[in-house]
Structure 1
Amino acid sequence: MYVGSLYVWRGNLPRDHPNTIKRRFTSVLCVSAVSPLVVLTWTKSMKVRPSPPLWALLGIRLEGFVPAALLPLTLTMILFLGPLTQLAVESTRGLFHDVRAGLNSRSWSKCVKDLRWFRNQVVAPLTEEFVFRACMIPMLVPCTGPTAAIFISPLFFGVAHFHHIIEQLHFGQDSVFEILICAAFQFVYTYIFGAYTAFIFIRTGHLVGPVLCHSFCNQMGFPAIGSVLHHPQRPLILLSYQLGVLLFLILLFPFTDSAFYGMTPVCSLLLTPRSACA
């Protein structure tokens, strides 16, 4: 439904054209509105008991909201310590000046008016995490258990990104081989990221963490590891890459401990008591 809704509109405009972006906003928002009804219908038809309130099941709740917003995002920023250090080193005006400029109201106003920025940082993270995590995982957990759901749900998320091949072939941007290589790489990257946000969703029981992490990763992009090897500050940046990964692995479970977030509603859908949340 999510991917198909992007192609209900007639026209041959590229994905970054304002008209295409606006139409696709409409499509994905409609799918996002329908998806909770699918989850509700499914839980009732399967007679899954006990069942928490629908919105809590979808990760929209107040209990533990602040740590759910801050801790997963902090964890993701730690993982990106290398790229963040590289940005700081390469900043011509200084890191603090760039941070102040980014937090300026005029800067935010300019970003919000940019449809591509609004798509990448707001609409895509919100709707994709809502549909592929908040609405899909509650339907998977009773059938597979939480651990398997973490690795199954991103398969759908990764495959959903294959639709970019259609536009690349249509507009002849690259050779078929290059397009397929790019699609394979994107599938691997989105699968790993999808497993990570599924892990966060199940561990915290909140949607806000995956959404903010998704938005942050869209802003950062895939780390330009190749450029580090020829960077004047290579030892410092390489150290920050390694330190970021090490700290991420150390803090992954402590930062997603349920003690910060209260009960995780999706875990109450487990049909057998022997299963435990990841």
Structure 2
Amino acid sequence: MMNHKITGEEVSPLTSVFACLSLGISCVLSLYIWSSEHNRDHPSIVKRRFLSVFFIMLISPTIIYIFSAKEVLENHNFAELLGLKADGCLLAALVPIGLTGVLFLGPLCVQILNYQGTPNFLSGKYWKEHLRNILWWRNHVVAPLTEEFTFRACMLPLMMQSFKPISATMITPLFFGVAHFHHIIERLREGKELKNVLLVSCFQFAYTTIFGFYSSYLFGRTGHFLAPFVAHVFCNYMGFPDILEIIKQNGMKKILYICLYLIGLFSWIYLMPMLTNPNWYNNNLYNWDR
């Protein structure tokens, strides 16, 4: 890759935001082109939505090409703009797994204790049960793959050309968080109360936006699509930490769990900028010194 960096303000911020908004809307609308009486977890709906999101994934790079500054396209390999490169690939896969594992130190320790020393993802029974489950494939493969490609690999290069890297990583996750509001429609169809639906959706917006920041940060710092993808898979496997598991504990066990959760969180915050040093990944695309 050339030493020229995307320095921001090469394309109007409104243009980049419009392009990203178009991508987000297209991604959500593609899920609803199929009319059916079944809910989102029905195998037929899941398969149809696979087709939709893969189609959006295929056409998303076109939006980057149309809305990217001419200078950006001339100075950078297009595949590398999308984070698709071999250089530093192994590091970009392993570091995010370790870093995300640090974040989930508390939940992982709880899981190990509950499974008597063996996390369930290390057991053959886990894989035997789940590899035949289409919902598992949706949650752990297809969703991370298509969402990270669309909302990170395609949106961030657009935002980085108009905003400073840290600003882009703060703004882009909002598209990802807002996109999850479409679940309101499905929850209302299931007969759930509007108040509860709104509360759940707002909570979902909050944690998907926070995850979106982490994922965007990984992509921007490493320059690899693989980095946010593996982090997304790990997070989807873990799910949102079970706070009730801590609350129901007593005595020293509760204190231990709280300490592990806090150690994991603060260690993650401390290690994140260190372990995503762009120089480690030969990432010369974005100027993080500004």
TM-score higher than 0.5: yes
**One-letter amino acid of the structure 2 residue matched with residue 144 of structure 1:** F
Residue pairs, 1:120-199, within 5 angstroms: 120-172=139-191, 174-199=192-217
The match for 1:86 is: 110
Tell me how many residue pairs correspond in the alignment.
Answer: 262
Superposition RMSD in Å: 1.6
**Structure 2 spans left out of the alignment, 5+ residues:** 1-25
Deviation of 1:161 (Å): 0.2
Residue 42 (str. 1) matches residue 55 (str. 2):
no
From 221, 225, 232, give the equivalent of 2:239: 221
From 53, 58, 71, give the equivalent of 1:28: 53
TM-score when normalising by structure 1: 0.90
Q: Secondary structure, in 3 states, of the residue corresponding to 1:144?
A: coil
**Partner Cα separation in structure 1 for residue 242 and residue 179 of structure 2:** 24
Residue 258 (str. 1) matches residue 278 (str. 2):
yes
**One-letter amino acid of the structure 2 residue matched with residue 234 of structure 1:** K
* Range with greater deviation from structure 2 (178-187 or 252-261): 252-261
**One-letter amino acid of the structure 1 residue matched with residue 117 of structure 2:** L
Residue 248 (str. 1) matches residue 260 (str. 2):
no
**Partner Cα separation in structure 2 for residue 11 and residue 222 of structure 1:** 30
User: 1:168/1:98 Cα in 2 relative to 1: closer, same or farther (>3 Å)?
Assistant: closer
* Contact 2:57/2:149, CA 8 A, preserved across alignment: yes
Deviation of 1:179 (Å): 0.3
Deviation of 1:134 (Å): 0.2
Deviation of 1:97 (Å): 7.2
* Contact 1:146/1:277, CA 8 A, preserved across alignment: no
The Cα offsets for residues 99-154 of structure 1, whole Å up to 9 and x where unpaired, read as 541xx3x6435422211000000000000000000000111111112111101111
**Partner Cα separation in structure 1 for residue 94 and residue 176 of structure 2:** 24
**Structure 1 spans left out of the alignment, 5+ residues:** 268-274
**Partner Cα separation in structure 1 for residue 245 and residue 288 of structure 2:** 42
Residue 209 (str. 1) matches residue 233 (str. 2):
no
Deviation of 1:190 (Å): 0.6
Q: Percent identity between the aligned chains? A: 39
* Contact 1:147/1:277, CA 8 A, preserved across alignment: no
User: 1:82/1:247 Cα in 2 relative to 1: closer, same or farther (>3 Å)?
Assistant: same
